[in-house]
Amino acid sequence: MAALVAKRYVTALLDGENAENMAVYAAVFNVLASQFENEKFVDLISSPSIAASAKEEILLAAVANVGSDKINNFLKLLAEKNRLELIPVIADQLSKEISVVNNAYSGKIFSDVDIDSKTIESLSTGLSKKVDANISLEFVKTSFDGIKVEVEDLGIELNFSKERINSSLIDHILKAI
Give the model confidence (pLDDT) of 69-111 as tens digits. 888 888 888 888 888 888 899 998 888 888 888 888 888 988 8
Q: Say what the pLDDT of residue 127 is.
A: 87
Q: Structural domain of residue 37, as residue ranges? A: 2-99
31 plus 77 within the same structural domain: yes
Last residue of a domain, one of 49, 77, 99: 99
**88 shares its domain with 110:** no
pLDDT for the residue numbered 50: 82
pLDDT value of residue 120: 86
- CB crowding 119-133: b at 16 or more within 10 Å, else e: ebeebbeebbeeeeb
Q: Are residues 53 and 30 located together in one domain of the fold? A: yes
**Does one domain contain both 112 and 157?**
yes
**Number of structural domains in the chain:** 2
**Are 112 and 85 in a shared domain?**
no
Q: Are residues 41 and 23 in the same domain?
A: yes
89 shares a domain with 17: yes
Same domain, 125 and 139: yes
What does the pLDDT read at residue 28?
87
Q: Low-confidence residues of the chain, pLDDT below 70?
A: none
Domain boundary among 75, 99, 123: 99
- At 148 the pLDDT is 85
pTM of the model: 0.72
CATH number at 34 reads: 1.10.520.20
What is the reported pLDDT for 96?
86
Clarify whether residues 133 and 164 are in a common domain.
Answer: yes
